[in-house]
Amino acid sequence: MGTPNPAYLEVIDFLAAGTTPESLIGFRPSATVQARVADLIQREQEASLSPDEMQELADFLQLEHLMIMAKAQARRNLDLGQRN
């Protein structure tokens, strides 16, 4: 396994610091990670990604899916807590 990509490191740092449903919902990748992903997506459309870059983009998309699911669950938990 190679060096974790910056998106993974950001999420690991975020989770390791402790989180609440509200902070999870509000989490956004840094501008640096957003710019990197935008570049990878643009270059993917041009078919100019290296195999390592294709894996980096796939890793980010998997991480993004995980965060979407976690944020949805956090919203449900908050909604349930407000109803009780």
Q: What is the pLDDT along the chain (84 residues), one digit of tens a residue?
A: 567 788 889 999 998 999 999 999 999 999 999 999 999 999 999 999 999 999 999 999 999 999 999 999 999 999 988 765
Q: Using an 8 Å Cβ cutoff, are 40 and 49 in contact?
A: yes
Q: Using an 8 Å Cβ cutoff, are 20 and 77 in contact?
A: no
Integer CA distances (angstroms), 16 to 26, 53, 54, 57, in order: 16, 26, 27, 23
In this prediction the pTM is: 0.82
**Letter for the amino acid at 84?**
N
Using the Cα atoms of residue 45, residue 68, residue 1 and residue 37 in order, give the sign of their dihedral. positive
